[in-house]
Every structure is written in C-alpha cells, then in structure tokens.
Amino acid sequence: MTDDARDAGEAAAHIRVVALDASALMAPVEADLRLFEELDRLLGAHDAVVPAAVVSELDRLQGGNGAEATAASVGADLATRAETVETNESYADDALVELAVEGRVDGVVTNDRPLANRVLEAGAPVIGLRGRNTLAITEP
C-alpha cells in the first residue's frame, strides 16, 4: 500500500456520516462522477444524509431548462438514496455548515468552493472532486 493510499484510508476512517450538497448530487451529470461508488471507494461503510434545504434547492433547479435542470433532476433522484434530515437553516449551504458545526455529520461532500471553505473553517473535512471524476478528502 502506498503512503498516499494509507493516508487516505486513515483519513476516511473517522468519516462515517456525510452530508451531500446539491453540487455533489448534480456531479454525475456535470462531471461524469459515479457519486455513490466513489464514496464507497473512498470511505467504505458510511451513511449519507441530505438536508431538506438541499432537496428544496434541487426541486427549484429542476424546474428550469437545459443541462442544469437535467443535472438537478438526476440529483433529486440520487438524493432519495440518502436520509433527508431537517435543520434550523433554510438556505442549503447554511444547513450543511450547521450539520458540520453540530457534529451531526463527519464531513460534507461538495464541489462548491465557498461552501467547502466554510465547512473546513468549521473544522469538518470536505470531500470533493479531484481530477476528472475522482473524489478526495480535504482535512481542515
């Protein structure tokens, strides 16, 4: 096992519950990412949750036209594979940060750089796209 693979395994060992952002759920269309297969590869056994605010965001986006609406439709379908959780925040990014700050999740999956920075500042790991269609963990 390489040092990088060992480090990734050690980093992933403490991540058991992840929250999914709309950008992550839309990545299968936008970045040809096999989201749940990549999470399984990276984390092994884990649970995925989606804040209700993210589900609402996807519902709003899929009402539009074009590629974004298609990606949001696929994202909404993928969101049904995760547990929907309630938060005090109605804005999706704030809901994800709330989950991280409260320790209700061990990490957040997102491709949104400003959100990733907020999650890292809150002390939680971020899982995001690295390269063309591979996920990687960034520790705070």
User: Across the strands, what pairs with 138?
Assistant: 126
- Give the domains, in start order, of the chain with CATH numbers: 3-138 (3.40.50.1010)
Handedness of CA 55, 59, 64, 68 (dihedral sign): positive
Q: How confident is the model at residue 11 (pLDDT cuts 50, 70, 90)?
A: low
Indicate yes or no: pTM above 0.85: yes
64 vs 54: CA distance, rounded Å: 16
Give pLDDT tens digits for 44-54: 999 999 999 99
Give pLDDT tens digits for 79-110: 999 999 999 999 999 999 999 999 999 999 99
Rg, Å, the chain Cα set: 14
Rama region for 138: left / alpha / beta (φ>0; ψ in -120 to 50; rest): beta
